[in-house]
């Protein structure tokens, strides 16, 4: 447990040395919510430009609620974990229809995509509610403070610790906003996984694991799901044929090259791409193929499974399509160079 002097040192350090972030300089329920969702599984440096552009396009709940899912996904492209974008779109619609942003932990938990950590972060940072938060940074600080190797966000022990500490801080007159952000900041900047800076840590004296911080917590090995898939690059004049993942499917709402199951054409292998998406390692083979014979009929449907798009005006898509087209351009360039030199070309 952090004692009174530890909490004072920790929060004093934070107020003096915390990083400047756009969602900290202007604190509103909407801005904190969007930032916390973006920061899930994503580094701060990567999030800042996305957050600033998102605020420019959707400055409030009303503008986000009225936007199309495709518009939201386009701005999210590159951040990954696209279910986050779909959830904030649905949540914005619910908030806008209710007329007010939820201000209690239970009401926040009722929104799509908001779990105990995000609800606690919004409640404490925006409303000053002494709600606990537990993320990777908090877990690491806890594990080292208590010298525990086996710990995870599902452990009741760490949630109890976080709850007791934020309540203790409030009794001392320290805002839950300051205390919770202090612990997260410590884990993100000094109490890091690989190179902890114990010499500058404000609570190192009370830390049971400070002599061997690398032992706590014990790293959890990632289990990868390996996937192979065939995608078809089909050009019709200046346009390419794309398909959109449906609701309930992996990467729902995003556009990508069609699969062999959708377009039964053999094609010629022109590129291979390796992708890492969440816990999936994907080997994607891209084939140049002819348009299906029934393409015109399929494009006329009320909800066409396939659509044509200008390559320079693509709809919302993920890294899969982006890297696939980059690989194809590289192949085209290599083929062009070899053809110009008069050498044999092997694809």
Is the pLDDT assigned to residue 230 strictly greater than 70?
yes
What is the arithmetic mean of pLDDT over 204-218? Answer: 92
Range of the domain at 252: 225-341
**Are both 174 and 132 inside the same structural domain?**
yes
How far is CA 44 from each of CA 24, 114, 177, 185, rounded to the nearest angstrom? 12, 19, 18, 11
**What pLDDT does 343 receive?**
45
The model's confidence at residue 233, banded by pLDDT at 50, 70 and 90, is: very high
Token pair 């690398």: residue: 214
Q: Could you say which of 167, 189, 215 is where a domain stops?
A: 215
User: Are 166 and 32 members of one domain?
Assistant: yes
pLDDT digits (tens, 9 = 90+) for 60-111: 999 999 999 999 999 998 898 899 999 999 999 999 999 999 999 999 999 9
Per-residue pLDDT, 222? 77
Residues 184 and 304 in one domain: no
* Statement: residue 113 has pLDDT above 90: yes
| C-alpha torsion angle, residues 73, 79, 84, 86 (rounded to 10) | 10
Give the model confidence (pLDDT) of 284-311 as tens digits.
999 999 998 888 888 887 667 889 999 9
pLDDT at residue number 240: 96
Within 10 angstroms of residue 239's Cβ, the number of other Cβ atoms is 14
Do the beta carbons of residue 264 and residue 234 sit within 8 Å? no
What number is the average pLDDT over the span 179-193?
96
The residue among 215, 247, 270 that closes a domain is 215
Per the annotation, the verdict on 249 as an active-site residue is: no
Do 312 and 168 lie in one domain? The reply is no
Q: Are residues 150 and 68 in the same domain?
A: yes
Instruction: Indicate which CATH number applies to the domain containing 307.
Output: 3.90.79.10
Q: Could you tell me the two tokens for 287?
A: 């084939």
Please give the helix or strand (H or E) that residue 86 lies within, else none: helix 83-98
Q: Which of 36, 168, 228, 264 is labelled catalytic?
A: 36
**Is a pLDDT exceeding 70 seen at residue 345?**
no
Beta strands in the chain (DSSP E): 225-236, 239-244, 255-256, 268-277, 280-289, 306-310
């Amino acid at each position: 447990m952090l004692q009174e002097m530890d909490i004072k040192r920790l929060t004093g350090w934070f107020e003096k040395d915390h990083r400047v972030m756009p969602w900290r300089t202007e604190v509103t329920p909407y801005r904190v919510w969007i930032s916390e969702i973006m920061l899930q599984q994503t580094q701060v440096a990567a999030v800042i430009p996305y957050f600033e552009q998102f605020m420019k396009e959707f400055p409030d709940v009303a503008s986000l609620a009225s936007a199309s899912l495709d518009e939201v996904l386009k701005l999210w492209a590159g951040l990954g974990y696209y279910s986050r974008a779909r959830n904030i779109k649905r949540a914005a619609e619910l908030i806008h229809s209710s007329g007010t942003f939820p201000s209690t932990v239970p009401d926040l938990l009722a929104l799509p995509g908001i779990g105990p950590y995000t609800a606690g972060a919004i409640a404490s940072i925006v409303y000053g509610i002494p709600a606990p938060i537990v993320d990777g940074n908090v877990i690491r600080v806890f594990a080292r403070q208590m010298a525990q190797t086996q710990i995870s966000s599902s452990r009741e022990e760490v949630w109890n610790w976080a709850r007791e500490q934020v309540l203790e801080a409030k009794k001392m007159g320290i805002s839950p906003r300051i205390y919770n952000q202090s612990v997260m900041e410590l884990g993100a900047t000094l109490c890091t996984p690989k190179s902890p800076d114990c010499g500058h840590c404000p609570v190192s004296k009370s830390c049971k694991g400070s002599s061997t911080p690398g032992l706590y917590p014990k790293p959890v090995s990632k289990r990868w799901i390996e996937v192979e898939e065939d995608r078809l690059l089909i050009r019709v004049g200046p346009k390419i044929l794309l398909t959109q993942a449906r609701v309930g499917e992996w990467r729902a709402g995003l556009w990508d090259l069609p699969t062999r199951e959708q377009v039964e054409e053999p094609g010629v292998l022109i590129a291979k791409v390796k992708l890492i998406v969440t816990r999936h390692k994907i080997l994607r083979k891209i084939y140049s193929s002819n348009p299906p014979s029934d393409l015109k009929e399929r494009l006329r449907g009320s909800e066409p499974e396939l659509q044509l798009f200008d390559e320079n005006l693509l709809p919302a898509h993920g890294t899969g399509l982006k890297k696939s087209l980059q690989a194809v351009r590289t192949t085209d360039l290599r083929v062009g160079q070899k053809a110009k030199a008069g050498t044999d070309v092997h694809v």
